[in-house]
Amino acid sequence: MAYHKDASILGMIARHAAPSTIIEYATTPPGDDAYQRRLRLWVADCAARALPLLAQHQQDHTEAAAAITAARFYANGFIRLASIAAYDDELYARLYQDAKRTGYSVASEVRLAAALSARANIWLSAAAATQHARNAILNAMRGDAQNHRDAAGESHDESQWQAMRLGSWLAEVEPAEWPIASKAA
């Protein structure tokens, strides 16, 4: 199967990450298993960071947390590809329809980010997953911010956090996984 690196992720890290992260992302072969593992764990962290927004919007986080956990278990070799496939097409299709129906609400964006973290082909879903996580945070800020300029600043901050977190995952020493929290701290 042919893989490609997503230009939107490269653009995000080019704006916000250290040069070493840009070089590592741009030069690692897409078929590198260790790199795919770290990419999946980064995507799971981005989704986990947005997960508390479900509780803030009185939404159940169980399914999204389970998808993030499955992504991490798969990345770390605790479950097989067949197990993660349960989170692939059926869950994503259902959550995508829910997102369209709700006008891409904060809750639906978080759920999509979580579901995409657990898709079998992380190369094709990484950019979309991290974008849904950023959208959820931006939409939540728009709801809470006094003006949209505040929310735009928060979106920039989230892009910066995501780029820095990718840099952490690509570093020699891996970071601890972002915790799965049921509510905001």
User: 176 pLDDT band (50/70/90 cuts)?
Assistant: very high
- C-alpha–C-alpha distance, residues 45 and 52, integer Å: 12
User: 149 pLDDT band (50/70/90 cuts)?
Assistant: very low
- Does the pLDDT value for residue 10 go beyond 70? no
Whether 129 is in a domain gets the answer yes
- Read off the amino acid at residue 18: A
Whether 109 is in a domain gets the answer yes
- Does the pLDDT value for residue 146 go beyond 50? no
Domain that holds residue 143: 7-23+32-170
**Which range is least confidently modeled, 39-43, 44-48, 86-90, 119-123?**
86-90
User: 57 pLDDT band (50/70/90 cuts)?
Assistant: confident
Whether 83 is in a domain gets the answer yes
Whether 183 is in a domain gets the answer no
Residue 16: its pLDDT value, please? 64
Residue 148: its pLDDT value, please? 43
Whether 107 is in a domain gets the answer yes
User: 185 pLDDT band (50/70/90 cuts)?
Assistant: very low
Residue 88: its pLDDT value, please? 64
Secondary structure (3-state) at 96: helix
- How many domains does the chain divide into? 1
- C-alpha–C-alpha distance, residues 116 and 161, integer Å: 19
Tokens of 96: 């995508």
Whole-structure pTM value:
0.79
